[in-house]
Amino acid sequence: MNQAENHDEGCGGTEDSASSTDCANRVLILGGGFGGIYAAIELERALRARSDVSITLVSRDNYFLFTPMLHEVAASDLEMNTIVNPLRKMLRRVNTFTGNIETINLERRYVAVTHGFDRHVHELSYDHLIIALGSSTNFFGLPGVQDVALTIKTLDDAIELRNRLITHLEEANSECAAGQRQPLLTFVVVGAGFAGVETLGGINDFVREAVCFYPNLTPEFVRTILISSDEFILPELGKKLGAYAQRKLAARGVEIITSTRVTAVSGSMVELSDGRKILATTLIWAAGNAPNPLVAALPIPKSGGRILVNEYLAVNEVPGVWALGDCASILDHKTGGFYPPTAQHAIREARCAARNVAAEIVGGKKKPFGFQASTAREEDASCSRLDAGSVFCKGLRMRDCQTYFHHDGIGRL
Ligand SMILES: Cc1cc2nc3c(=O)[nH]c(=O)nc-3n(C[C@H](O)[C@H](O)[C@H](O)COP(=O)(O)OP(=O)(O)OC[C@H]3O[C@@H](n4cnc5c(N)ncnc54)[C@H](O)[C@@H]3O)c2cc1C
């Protein structure tokens, strides 16, 4: 299929699709996470006067997910619609294409996307390609882990975890589960970065607060265990803050096992590198990132599986291809290392890449990427459109989200 059929409201053609075909400059953004959405918003702003530019954002879901609060949905602290924002509300000029990206063909400059009940294919051609596809979970090939572990990366993951917690409380309370109560109420989280620690904190509070409502359960049945291969938890915050968080969690009943790895999982038995074995029916894996398979398949330079880009966030020797966020390796000239894969960085990289794409289109000067903490606050304040639509930032009207929100298994637009 050709570009003229590229739209997400049926396959008969729309004004968006027609303009995409005729357009002199076609910008395709892959991914609707922090990187993709901020790149789109910035491109709308930078190219608002250019009617000869078509911009399309392709993503699996039709909403932006605020991952830093995913654990609050998993632990029933927030309703799911408070951490999602519909792409169509956030984007005014950029076309949204909801589908699964199957392949990226850099040689012929198109991206193949499937959608619809029959998963039919569209080929979206581009002049500029912004890759913001994030990362996948790394299970390190450990025996049994991928089969049993839950992850905490998507809205589905958070919903599954929330359902799991409630189901296990109900099961453990039943008369016939008398010998199984502790394994049913033992929750092991592997990985002590932000995602793992926040998730475990949420689970711990939720389950301990809930047990008093179950006549056959007491707090002694509950075990919440955090496993880290590092010496301290939250290595991103440094040793002092990590140790502080560790003390606080321990005071709330969390068992913390550091400098230890999971080596295998068989059935409900979690095996550790120090020889310990933990009987637990819930294992949550927040211990590592692997490259997105689409990125892994690209024949371009990478570092640590992430696309190597220059200071303008462009891929050297592949004109018109840009990468940012968790799927990109960007050298920090000040430290000699690479910028970390965080939302904070993805947002700023997205703005920089978008401005550079716009500069190439309008013939302006490109600027190198640099993260300066002193400018971060001003930049955050300027992004009112994203903030205004999100309860975590300021007053989301929930019915707005419910109207637009679709998610497999919950309801479609
Ligand atoms: C639980 C959790 C908590 C976190 N907490 C924090 C925090 O407190 N602070 C912080 O700075 N960072 C935090 N992070 C990290 C932060 O979420 C990432 O660094 C950030 O999301 C990276 O943005 P991105 O755009 O590169 O990738 P993502 O936000 O992951 O976006 C990738 C996008 O690509 C889409 N996609 C991928 N493959 C396909 C495909 N084949 N077809 C169609 N679409 C596809 C995805 O659906 C998604 O929309 C957290 C992450 C998690 C998981």
Q: Please write the tens of the pLDDT for every residue from 338-350.
A: 998 989 999 999 9
Residues 231 and 298 in one domain: no
Which tokens go with 362? Answer: 């309008």
Residues 22 and 126 in one domain: yes
Decide whether any atom of ligand 1 lies within 6 Å of the 34 Cβ. yes
Decide whether any atom of ligand 1 lies within 6 Å of the 224 Cβ. no
* Best CA proximity match to 201, nearest among 187, 214, 184: 187
Number of structural domains (the chain) is 2
Residues 273 and 180 in one domain: yes
Residues 151 and 206 in one domain: yes
pLDDT attached to residue 194: 87
Whole-angstrom Cα distance, residue 13 to residue 2?
11
Residues 152 and 88 in one domain: no
Task: Please state, for a pLDDT cut of 70, what percent of the chain lies above it.
Answer: 85
Residues 153 and 269 in one domain: yes
pLDDT attached to residue 227: 98
Read off the CATH number of the domain in which 160 is found: 3.50.50.60
Please state the atom number of ligand 1 nearest to the C-alpha of residue 100: 42
In a domain, 406, yes or no: no
Whole-angstrom Cα distance, residue 296 to residue 146?
19
Report the separation in Å between the CA atom of 16 and the middle of ligand 1, taken as the mean of its atom positions: 27
In a domain, 409, yes or no: no
In a domain, 37, yes or no: yes
Contact 98, 60 (CB under 8 A): yes
Three-state helix/strand/coil letters over 313-363: CECCCCCCEEECHHHEECECCCCCCECCCCHHHHHHHHHHHHHHHHHHHHC
Asked whether residue 397 carries a pLDDT value surpassing 80, the answer given is: no
Residue 267 Rama label (left phi>0; alpha psi -120 to 50; beta): left
Residues 235 and 333 in one domain: no
- Among 285, 307, 323, the domain-final residue is 285
In a domain, 311, yes or no: yes
- Among 225, 259, 285, the domain-final residue is 285
Read off the CATH number of the domain in which 393 is found: 3.50.50.100
pLDDT band for position 22 (50/70/90)?
low
Contact 62, 88 (CB under 8 A): yes
pLDDT band for position 20 (50/70/90)?
low
Which tokens go with 334? Answer: 């000040």
* Best CA proximity match to 355, nearest among 54, 10, 45, 137: 45
In a domain, 407, yes or no: no
Residues 259 and 294 in one domain: no
Residues 268 and 296 in one domain: no
In a domain, 44, yes or no: yes
Residues 122 and 222 in one domain: no
- Among 236, 270, 285, the domain-final residue is 285
Report the separation in Å between the CA atom of 198 and the middle of ligand 1, taken as the mean of its atom positions: 16
Residues 157 and 250 in one domain: yes
Asked whether residue 403 carries a pLDDT value surpassing 70, the answer given is: no
Q: Please write the tens of the pLDDT for every residue from 297-351.
A: 999 999 999 999 999 999 999 999 999 999 999 999 998 999 989 899 999 999 9
Asked whether residue 372 carries a pLDDT value surpassing 80, the answer given is: no
Residues 232 and 318 in one domain: no
Distances (CA, A) of 362 to 130, 195, 311, 369: 17, 40, 20, 19
Range of the domain at 248: 145-285
Report the separation in Å between the CA atom of 87 and the middle of ligand 1, taken as the mean of its atom positions: 15
Contact 291, 306 (CB under 8 A): yes
Q: What is the mean pLDDT of residues 357-386?
A: 70
Atom 2 of ligand 1: nearest residue by CA position: 195
pLDDT band for position 373 (50/70/90)?
very low
pLDDT attached to residue 267: 87
Report the separation in Å between the CA atom of 134 and the middle of ligand 1, taken as the mean of its atom positions: 5
Least confident of 6-10, 39-43, 67-71, 288-292: 6-10
